[in-house]
Amino acid sequence: MSNGGPAKMKTDNAKPARRHFLKKLGGLAAAGGVATATHAAWGGHTLSDTFADFFQQHYREMSDIEIRETLERIERKAKNRYGVDIRCKDTAAIEGVLFGYAINVSKCRGYRDCVHACVKENNLSRDTQYIRVLELDRDNLNLHEGDHYYNSDTVPVEGKHYFPMQCMHCDNPPCVKACPVEATWTEPDGIVVVDYDWCIGCRYCMAACPYQARHFNWGYPKLPAEEITTETHYLGNRPRPRGVVEKCHFCIQRTREGRQPACQEACPSGARVFGNLLDPNSEIRYVLENKAVFRLKEDLGTEPKFWYFRDR
Amino acid sequence: MCWQKPASLNKYLTLAIFSLLILPVFAADLQSNPDLEGVASDLSSAASDDDSDWDWSGITAEDTTPAEVDSKPVLPTPGTRLRDTTIASPDYSASTKPAMAIFINMPTFEVIPSQKNAEMHPCSNCHQWTKGDTSPRILKRPHDDFELKHGLHGKGKFWCMTCHHLEGSGGLVTLEGEKIDFDDAYLICSQCHVNQARDWVYGAHGKRIGNWQGTRQVLNCTACHYQHEPAHKPRAPMEGPVIRMGLERPEHWKPLGRGAGNNGHHHQEVWQ
Amino acid sequence: MTDNNGHTGLWAFLRDGVHEILHGGRCYWMWVCFLLVFMTIGFLVYLYQITNGLLVTNMTNQVSWGFYISNFTFLVGVAAAAIMLAVPAYIFDRKDIKDVVLMGDTMAVAAVAMAILFVVVDLGRPDRIWHLIPTIGKFHFPESLLAWDVVVLNGYILLNLGISSYILYQHYHDREPKKSRYFPIVIIAIFWAISIHTVTAFLYSSNSGRPIWNNALLAPRFIASAFASGPAIMAIGLQIIRGMTNYPVSQSVINHLAIVTSIALQVTLFFIGAEIFTEFYNEGEHAASARYLFFGLHGHTALTPWIWTAILLLLIAVTIFMIHRTRNNPILMNTAFVFTVIGIWIEKGMGLVIPGFVPTPIGEIYEYVPSIAEIMITLGIWAFGLLFFTIMAKAALPIQCRYMRQYSDPRHPDACAINSNDAKISRTD
């Protein structure tokens, strides 16, 4: 809906004395509108979408109809902004499932295939990466000595080992406690999710996270339209607005459909083990019961559901 | 000293009220909009939004239950490079085979078969005509690229016929003389690499493809380890982290790591 | 300024207040226009920030809180320090301080208003502020410390506005305010003031992933430095009021504030010393942030000159305060006040917030300096706060003056002339 609309309609019927004033007003509004046109600040497609967006409730408070309308609105917005038809679902958690993840540090060779698969799958702004791989000297676990920007000709480098880090989906998450509007919470299947349409962008959760796992959309996400993943989830990889926090969500759009997360699929080294902690026959349970597993910053009591282990 | 009502108060009030009215418009997407004619109907439908108008037929139970797990594996993300050569890389289009027992009380799972090079398979393509000379030696074409570099046990400790046989259509053979299919290569590897085999059976080694629940489909050993030269070759890593948009890298920035000073590590400075 | 022509009632009170604000001398208008210029620039730059997003700042995922939150932290402390005037005025019934306690309350309101504005400009989605409102939004109280901060800051503004409006309203009608009415609120406000800054400190100290913040001393440090910086600002403000108007700010008030600042400074410096010792005696990786702040980390030393300058300024200030002769010298005393404000602004602002993010919990260093946009918006908000205080003072002081005239020296009926053109009669104590 263009800014010139209301003013134009009114000038046809308005008295001459006011016409000039309203024209100036329309001009002023249009000038302001032009300034914001290229930066469509809060998204929105029609006026009703804008209002619906503004008044949208928290995900857990919305009725099924409201959620359905919200999902459709997201699909419309994506179509409008990127010209891509996406499908946004809000698949519920599967009963009897608690997700866990383990990384075999002996196997990770630092390829960063997981990092880039995640960027593609989750429609990340190309300046954001949910996964950060640290290169550390062998048998050094001091994260402060990790090299984040390693770029040697080949990996793995002799004498180093590699630690991919992403959201640990803690059982006792400091970020969930910190959020003043409950925009982030733990779902029944253990995934710590963010309602991107509820987040106010205060970034307290980013200060609270001890793993530097949360990322903020400082500007409008740089997302090439041709690379958009179209199967999306409301709490997962749907295109995000500006000014909100986001993070790894265990590929909720995939894992709730029974599929593996993108990082696990991309890893050529088979270093990633994902599964249901409540299933005694799952691979993740075998790893936890038979391997020397450890978690990062165990002393902080965050109880991450992301383990690391070695073969030897 | 008394409050004097300014003569221009009306004008300011009008301006204020109009500004408030047009405020929502600043929030709207002002790009060209093919749906402009739908605005009125959208507004009216939004206004009359009550449950009785809702069409319940669209909502079914299927919308909320997860998709059923396919028996065929879902292909992994395109571009996943398991290893450099494609010999015996996985064939995702073929149907999986149940894993054969190599331990007692083994869980059931499926193994994704390997691709077969049409030229070289089956072995009897050529070997029905040639005599199989089974003395250990360096082979000539077309097997000259199969120089065996199988770890510590290569270089004459064992050679091609340790694992291969030429009877019938040819294939793999275990140390006990049992002839097996190429798709069951794990039976060969697990003869010596028992710990890895056990981890592979239970999921701590190797890779599960497509799903994390339901029928478990895993890759064969040869999908990741080139059987004749199993040691993984290093390869280039993909691109590292980037600083957020809107910031520029300063002149003095150097990557941390080898050869960069700071004794090579400790506290990474952030830039791309 | 003469009496209020027999006006009574709330409407008259507000009308006369607005009239007082809109009529002032040349100095007043120059000051107001100067502030309005900065406010306008700040507002326009904020519009620029809204349009482009927070990427106009220099904050990153690594340092996700910067200049805005630094100023917010400092200003909450300044607000809390209003009780350094409220306690002697209302609990100990010091007459000289009672004359100026409303200015302290006004300063507190202005400081909290500024603090809230700093949080608003720092938000990624200010259009979603309504999400904080209970029942229509989702207010994560009591788990979230930020929710606590919202509650205590808004409560503090209401308490202070309530007290000062009530007392001023009564004074406007030449009535003695009923102690039974305002005294309980004052008591609540005194404890509430401690709580606003404690909650703000808990905001930081609750983060176990950031060792420089995660200590029990942070809340006491905040209170101590608040009680140094707040009274210092008040003292400067009151002396300006005394100089620009004939409002009777007796020297004993300034001396009282100087003593409060002095003690608070000593405690603050002791706490800083304790912090330095505890971090560096057995230095481990947990001291990395402190090392970045005080000594630089791997050649990154952006903050070290600032923190050591701040500590030096505080040491000079405390020395001036501790020696009687220098404390009673107006120039040195005011220098000490200014040094205190600057020093604590550095130490509690950038000197606390930024090191918490450098290095990140997984070892990255990003050296943050505020961008031009942040600085302009910050100046705009400070201008707003000063303007707010100026306007409130401009409206309230005549009422106070007129009320106090009944108790002032009858030989000097013009002792309270606000207009600088009137005869100036110095009032010493």
pLDDT over 70, % of chain C: 93
Question: What is the three-class DSSP state of C213?
Answer: coil
CA distance A211 to chain C (A): 6
Tally the C-alpha atoms within 13 A of residue B140's C-alpha that lie toward its C-beta.
Answer: 1
| φ, ψ of residue A245 in degrees (nearest 5) | -95, 145
User: What is the H or E stretch that residue B213 is in?
Assistant: none
**Per-residue model confidence as pLDDT tens digits over A106-126:** 999 999 999 999 999 999 999
The answer to whether residues A245 and A193 touch, using CB atoms and an 8 Å cutoff, is: no
Q: Say which of A33, A43, A116 has its CB closest to residue B25.
A: A33
| φ, ψ of residue C357 in degrees (nearest 5) | -105, -5
Q: Say which of B213, B236, B268 has its CB closest to residue A276.
A: B213
Identify the pLDDT of residue B250.
60
Identify the pLDDT of residue B19.
61
The answer to whether residues B220 and B113 touch, using CB atoms and an 8 Å cutoff, is: yes
Average pLDDT taken over every residue of chain A: 87
Q: Quick one: average pLDDT of C293-317?
A: 94
CB–CB contact A64 B258 (8 Å): no
Q: Please report residues of C whose CB lies closer than 8 A to that of A177.
A: 143-144
CA distances from residue A132 to A15, A115, A245, C233 in whole angstroms, order as listed = 64, 7, 17, 45
What's the one-letter identity of residue C370? P
Q: Please report residues of A whose CB lies closer than 8 A to that of C285.
A: 142, 144
Tokens at C196, concatenated: 């606003």
What's the one-letter identity of residue A171? D
Tallying the residues shown for chain C, one arrives at 429
CA distance C365 to chain B (A): 5
Choose the CATH number for C9-125+148-406 among 3.40.640.10, 3.30.470.20, 3.30.1360.120, 1.20.1630.10.
Answer: 1.20.1630.10
Q: Quick one: average pLDDT of C192-211?
A: 96
CA distance C173 to chain B (A): 17
**Per-residue model confidence as pLDDT tens digits over A124-146:** 999 999 999 999 998 789 999 88
Pick the closest to residue B188 from B226, B156, B162 (CA basis). B162
| φ, ψ of residue B172 in degrees (nearest 5) | -100, 150
B31 and A CB contact within 8 Å: yes
Tokens at C246, concatenated: 């004939």
Residue of C nearest to B264 (CA): C298
- Chains in touch with B (≥3 Cβ pairs < 8 A): A, C
More confident position, B142 or A295: A295
Tokens at B10, concatenated: 């009306």
Give the best residue of B4, B26, B270, B272 to mutate against chain C (max C CB count within 10 A): B270
Identify the pLDDT of residue B28.
42
**What residues in chain B have per-residue pLDDT under 70?**
1-16, 18-81, 84-87, 132, 138, 140-157, 249-272
More confident position, C255 or B12: C255
Q: Quick one: average pLDDT of A174-195?
A: 97
| Other Cβ atoms closer than 10 A to A290 | 13
Helices C251-280 + C218-244 axis angle, to 10: 150
What lies within 8 Å, CB to CB, of A136 at 6+ separation is: A142, A143, A145, A146, A147, A160, A161, A162, A163
Q: Per-residue confidence at A279, pLDDT binned at 50, 70, 90?
A: very high
Q: Please report residues of A whose CB lies closer than 8 A to that of C126.
A: 200
Tokens at C238, concatenated: 């009151």
Q: Is residue A183 pLDDT above 50, yes or no?
A: yes
CB–CB contact B262 C60 (8 Å): no
Distance, C-alpha A138 to centroid of its chain: 31
Question: What is the three-class DSSP state of A144?
Answer: helix
Residue of B nearest to A33 (CA): B26
Residue of B nearest to C15 (CA): B3
User: What is the H or E stretch that residue A26 is in?
Assistant: helix A16-37
The answer to whether residues C358 and C292 touch, using CB atoms and an 8 Å cutoff, is: yes
> Peptide bond preceding C359: is omega within 30 degrees of 0, i.e. cis?
yes
The answer to whether residues A87 and A232 touch, using CB atoms and an 8 Å cutoff, is: yes
Q: Quick one: average pLDDT of C256-262?
A: 95
Q: How far apart are CA A88 and CA A59, in angstroms?
A: 14
Tokens at A55, concatenated: 């008044």
Q: Quick one: average pLDDT of C414-425?
A: 45
Q: Quick one: average pLDDT of C333-346?
A: 97
The structure's pTM equals 0.83
Q: How far apart are CA A248 and CA A253, in angstroms?
A: 12
What's the one-letter identity of residue A108? C
Q: How far apart are CA C42 and CA C294, in angstroms?
A: 32
Identify the pLDDT of residue B92.
83
- Structural domains in chain A, CATH included, are 5-88 (no CATH), 89-312 (3.30.70.20)
Q: How far apart are CA B231 and CA B228, in angstroms?
A: 9
Identify the pLDDT of residue B8.
57
Residue of C nearest to A204 (CA): C146
The answer to whether residues C145 and C202 touch, using CB atoms and an 8 Å cutoff, is: yes
The answer to whether residues B165 and B171 touch, using CB atoms and an 8 Å cutoff, is: yes
Identify the pLDDT of residue B184.
92
SS3 string, A209-229, reads CCCCCCEECCCCCCCCHHHCC
Question: What is the three-class DSSP state of C112?
Answer: helix
CA distance A202 to chain C (A): 5
ipTM: 0.90
Tallying the residues shown for chain A, one arrives at 312
Tally the C-alpha atoms within 13 A of residue C191's C-alpha that lie toward its C-beta.
Answer: 5
C83 and A CB contact within 8 Å: no
Q: Per-residue confidence at C99, pLDDT binned at 50, 70, 90?
A: confident
Q: How far apart are CA A206 and CA A209, in angstroms?
A: 5
User: What residues 44-83 of chain B have any CB closer than 8 A to a CB of chain A?
Assistant: 45-46, 51, 54, 59, 63-64, 66-69, 74, 76-77, 79-83
Interface of B with C (CB under 8 A): 1-3, 27, 243-247, 262, 266-270
CB–CB contact A149 B256 (8 Å): yes
Q: Quick one: average pLDDT of C140-145?
A: 94
CB–CB contact A260 B43 (8 Å): no
Residue with tokens 């699929």: A265
C305 and A CB contact within 8 Å: no
Q: Quick one: average pLDDT of C127-134?
A: 95
Residue of C nearest to A208 (CA): C207
Residue with tokens 């502020």: C129
The answer to whether residues A215 and A122 touch, using CB atoms and an 8 Å cutoff, is: no
| Other Cβ atoms closer than 10 A to A207 | 25
Q: Is residue A169 pLDDT above 60, yes or no?
A: yes
